[in-house]
Chains A and B, each alone.
Chain A
Amino acid sequence: MQKPKSVTAVQLTMSIGTSIIGVGILAFPRITVEYVRTGAPFAAAFAMLLMMCGGIVVAYLGKQYPNQTIFEYADGLVGKWLGKLMTVVIGCYFLELAALASREFGEVVVTSVLQRTPISVTVFVMILLATIACRSDVAVFSRILTFYMPFVYFPALIIVVLSLKSAQLTNLMPILGLFHGQPLSNITESIMVVASLFTNYLIVGLLVPFMYRPGKAIKSTLVGMGIAGMLYIILMFATLSVFGIEEMNNLLWPTLELAKTAALPTFFVERLDPVFLAVWVTAVFSAIFAAYYLAIQAFGHLFELKSHRSLSLLAMPVILALAKQPADIVMLYQVVQQVGIIGLCLTLGYPLILLIVHVSKTARVKS
């Protein structure tokens, strides 16, 4: 079935770039540094390259089936039953991802700005925002993500620039720390931690059939993921050079601390971190929105619904319940890591399987 064409290549790039940057941006430098010390920036770079492979696979498949979403052509490739099963699994993963992201951000807000507000309120507000937004169609979905791109990237880059004055090059040494002195398990672990931040790239599978020119999908995907990856790498360098390894281990959200060090000498506001945190609500929102929307589209496909609008309301209590699950912030980060690694296998492995089936099928047809 022909889908209404409404997404340009630039929109795809910007949507991916926005959806990948989420609440993980606040904590990931600490977790990565815990594993590989000064090798962290390179771990981020490798994670980006790894996920780009996934991006290529999904975009390539999208090009082969330019009128179908990833859920639709998966049914055709691996069979209806297996396809539906995987759709459910992916849907559940993204529901959980959205829930954890809103919980994580709720914790950030409650800890740093609204100390007396119950966490359930901040989580609820975030999920409500996403739920309302999820009632829109795919064209609006990509437009919203595109619109928020500058609000996600500029504050982060401004923070980096403003905090440069307290950066120390020695904190980065040894720059190639990833390649000597680190156990292999730590290296893979750190790469997976950063890579799991990229799982939202699966929106490519959703957006490509709505593109005016699906042929441009691969390039757009790579650029989009590259931009997001560059931001992660830059932030990694910035936090590491400002705080160093030892201090980083004591900071729960190093990127937020980076914002606190950023200050304009003569300006009418004295501290900038509340502003950055406020602007980052857009980043967090867009990441939750992307995950939530993917989940809802997955379930919409599962139940063969014509419209996913009502589904977003139905999923809301589920997400709220999932967000309540981790008992405290320590538990939360453990769950985030475990779920992240499951999601990584899912979002990388499943498209790979689809690609293999697709290649073997077309090969059989040709011979």
Chain B
Amino acid sequence: MCVYEFHRKTEVPKTIPQWSESIKSSRSAGWNPLEEANESKFTNNLEKNLDIFEGILGGNADFLVRRFEIQIRKRKINCGLIYIDGTTSKTDLNDVLHALMLDSDISDRTRNSVEEVVIQQCLPYVDVDIKYSVMGAANWLLSGNSLLFLDGLEKAIGLSTQAFKERSISQPQTEQVIQGSREGFIESIGTNISLIRKRLRSSNTHVELMQLGEQTATDVVYCYIKGIANEDLVLEVRNRLQKIDTDTIYGAGYLEQFIEDNHYSPFPQIQNTERPDKAVAAMLEGRVVILVDGTPFALIVPAVFSQFYQTTEDYDTRFLMASMIRGIRLVALIFSLIFPSLYVSLISFNPEMIPTKFAVAVAGGRAGVPFPAIAEIFGLELIMEILREATIRLPQQIGGALSIVGVLVIGQAAVQAGFVSPITVVIVALTTIGSFATPAYNAAVALRMLRFPLMILAGMFGLYGVMVGLILIANHLNSLESFGVPYLSPVVPGDKYGLRDTIVRMPVWSMKKRPKHLRTNNPNRVRAGDVATDPKGRPLTAAVGTQTAKRTERTKKIRH
């Protein structure tokens, strides 16, 4: 069972009531009973209060009302408990009824109001929230909680009895690691928050909730570490989330499209992750993590390009190996983008570059092939994409069989039939494997798709065309920004501390500063006043830590 504490926080940003007000004024056509009930308050008559909800939700098979009586100060009070079947925990409700009906004969005179007596003495229950407006109460009810009405009370007592069905925490499917945590996010946002809290026990961790989607009222949470994340960034995230005007939020990927910077770019400007440890690491770097109820993925903003070929495991492995593996991954990424187009331009435009021995082999392989190189490789790459897409949709048992059929049988048969040359098959295979080595799926897709226009350019202009295409891509990457952060940082604009964690990952003890491009409030990972040292205790560089050290010294002097 999950419980939110933050409903009661005073500084919760704009919530649903204000929202639907603006929505109501903008479009009066769409009728929504919740909107009508928006302004209305409860009366002190139990029947009338229940009627209000009967009006809103009556007729729904799962909308249930339980009437009962309790005794307080020797006086009988009629009560009504309303809840939505299936979303609440029956055990909890039974406990509530048990407490109220059997143990509530209290003749305490010190308390003033019935409400206080009930809450303070009769309800053995942690999460209780007073609801004043019908709108708020309805939202509370529809989130799987229940409402308790007392005759003579102009409020509803909200009981947090939410018990949606959820699966247990399991291993992340898309981001598996050899060494490292096996926990992945699940669909329930409460559990996801607890996974983050578990790893981040700092009082600076801030988790702020808003509900988005007029109909779905999806819980969306953004988390950051106060004192590390830049306030402007947090504000920007909040603003972008608030600007979303839609009736549904299906999930994180859906939300991402509302808040990204450039909607027409093939490159993802927001990172998503299934791993709580990755989300926590991002927060510690000064980023903001957005969780959406119903999705086992967290969004990380801002995202830069270098994040897409990094994995959490890079930080669990020793730095030399991690850097080498990163280098290999980068090579694979470039392969998946330009390999087929390089092949086309070498074969069709610059055969003089191929060494003679090799050229003979290539020419021999291509001897019977009726198509030009570009048609051959374009067609084969297209078939490869189709096979890949088909394998994803198929059930796992069949998928394996199909990929064997696709790769081995079709490839072999095509070569034997003389449709394609063996070397083309090799190239296509290398490209495909290369694109699997990119850890971030969304970035890999972008590069995979961009290789098609590159192939066409290569077919038209050879190496010159490939270069033109690459320049177009590079210019685009340079012009992209994610929440105000240039996409290629820390490479361009350069940042010598950020560069320690790009293609090579420097030893962890040398990364004492957070990436500069995130403009964090607290640039140092070391404690203020400490001078960062290498394992032998020598000061690392003059710049790291000394500034803060100087500052603390200065403040000490002032205090004395």
A274 at the interface (CB under 8 A from B): yes
Beyond A10-B494, A117-B461, A143-B486, whether A271 also contacts B349 by CB under 8 A is: no
Give the A-B pair count, Cβ closer than 8 A: 92
Q: Judging by beta carbons under 8 Å apart, are A270 and B461 in contact?
A: no
Q: Judging by beta carbons under 8 Å apart, are B358 and A113 in contact?
A: no
Q: Judging by beta carbons under 8 Å apart, are B493 and A114 in contact?
A: no
A354 at the interface (CB under 8 A from B): no
Q: Mark A254-271, 1 if CB is under 8 A from B, else 0.
A: 000000000000001111
B504 at the interface (CB under 8 A from A): no
Give the one of B468, B471, B491 with max A CB within 10 A: B471
Beyond A8-B494, A11-B494, A146-B493, whether A278 also contacts B353 by CB under 8 A is: no
Q: Judging by beta carbons under 8 Å apart, are B353 and A274 in contact?
A: yes
Q: Judging by beta carbons under 8 Å apart, are A269 and B463 in contact?
A: no
Q: How far is the CA of A117 from the CA of B462 in the complex (A)?
A: 11
Q: Which of B476-511 contact A (CB under 8 A)?
A: 478-479, 486, 488, 491-494
Shortest distance between the CB of B485 and any CB in chain A (Å): 12
B475 at the interface (CB under 8 A from A): yes
Beyond A113-B464, A140-B479, A281-B468, whether A271 also contacts B352 by CB under 8 A is: yes
A277 at the interface (CB under 8 A from B): yes
Q: How far is the CA of A338 from the CA of B310 in the complex (A)?
A: 52
Q: Judging by beta carbons under 8 Å apart, are B475 and A279 in contact?
A: no
A132 at the interface (CB under 8 A from B): yes
Shortest distance between the CB of A291 and any CB in chain B (Å): 16
Q: Judging by beta carbons under 8 Å apart, are A136 and B352 in contact?
A: no
With CB as the reference atom, state the residue of chain A lying closest to B358. A268
Q: Judging by beta carbons under 8 Å apart, are B355 and A109 in contact?
A: no
B466 at the interface (CB under 8 A from A): yes
Beyond A278-B467, A279-B467, whether A146 also contacts B350 by CB under 8 A is: no
Q: Which of B441-484 contact A (CB under 8 A)?
A: 461-464, 466-468, 471-472, 474-475, 478-479
With CB as the reference atom, state the residue of chain A lying closest to B494. A10
A179 at the interface (CB under 8 A from B): no
Beyond A11-B493, A144-B478, whether A268 also contacts B464 by CB under 8 A is: no
Shortest distance between the CB of B217 and any CB in chain A (Å): 39
B360 at the interface (CB under 8 A from A): no
B356 at the interface (CB under 8 A from A): yes
Q: Judging by beta carbons under 8 Å apart, are A132 and B472 in contact?
A: yes
Shortest distance between the CB of A102 and any CB in chain B (Å): 12
Q: How far is the CA of A140 from the CA of B471 in the complex (A)?
A: 14
* Residues on the A chain within 8 Å of B493, using CB: 6-8, 10-11, 143, 146
Beyond A274-B463, A278-B467, whether A113 also contacts B472 by CB under 8 A is: no
Q: Judging by beta carbons under 8 Å apart, are B478 and A143 in contact?
A: yes
A147 at the interface (CB under 8 A from B): yes
Q: By DSSP majority rule, is chain B's interface helix, strand, loop, or mixed?
A: helix
Give the total of A residues in contact with B, Cβ under 8 Å.
35
Q: Judging by beta carbons under 8 Å apart, are A113 and B475 in contact?
A: no
B354 at the interface (CB under 8 A from A): yes
A125 at the interface (CB under 8 A from B): yes
Shortest distance between the CB of A312 and any CB in chain B (Å): 13
* Residues on the A chain within 8 Å of B349, using CB: 113-114, 274
* Residues on the A chain within 8 Å of B486, using CB: 139, 143
A158 at the interface (CB under 8 A from B): no
With CB as the reference atom, state the residue of chain B lying closest to A140. B479
Q: Which of A140-157 contact B (CB under 8 A)?
A: 140, 143-144, 146-148
Q: Judging by beta carbons under 8 Å apart, are B492 and A146 in contact?
A: yes
* Residues on the B chain within 8 Å of A147, using CB: 474, 478, 488, 491-492
* Residues on the A chain within 8 Å of B479, using CB: 136, 140, 143-144
Beyond A143-B493, A275-B463, whether A129 also contacts B354 by CB under 8 A is: no
Shortest distance between the CB of B461 and any CB in chain A (Å): 6
Q: Judging by beta carbons under 8 Å apart, are B352 and A132 in contact?
A: no
* Residues on the A chain within 8 Å of B492, using CB: 11, 143, 146-147
Q: Judging by beta carbons under 8 Å apart, are B494 and A270 in contact?
A: no
Across the interface, B461 reaches (CB within 8 A) one of A11, A125, A146, A275, namely: A125
Q: Could you list 22 A-B pairs, sorted by A, with CB under 8 Å?
A: A8-B494, A10-B494, A11-B494, A113-B349, A113-B350, A114-B461, A129-B468, A139-B486, A140-B478, A143-B478, A143-B492, A147-B491, A148-B474, A268-B358, A269-B355, A270-B354, A270-B355, A270-B356, A271-B353, A275-B353, A278-B467, A282-B467
List residues of chain A with CB under 8 Å of any chain B CB: 6-8, 10-11, 109, 113-114, 117, 122, 125, 129, 132-133, 136, 139-140, 143-144, 146-148, 268-272, 274-275, 277-279, 281-282, 285
Task: Knowing that A10-B494, A144-B474, A146-B492 touch, tell me 5 more A-B residue pairs with CB under 8 angstroms.
Answer: A129-B468, A140-B479, A143-B492, A270-B353, A282-B467
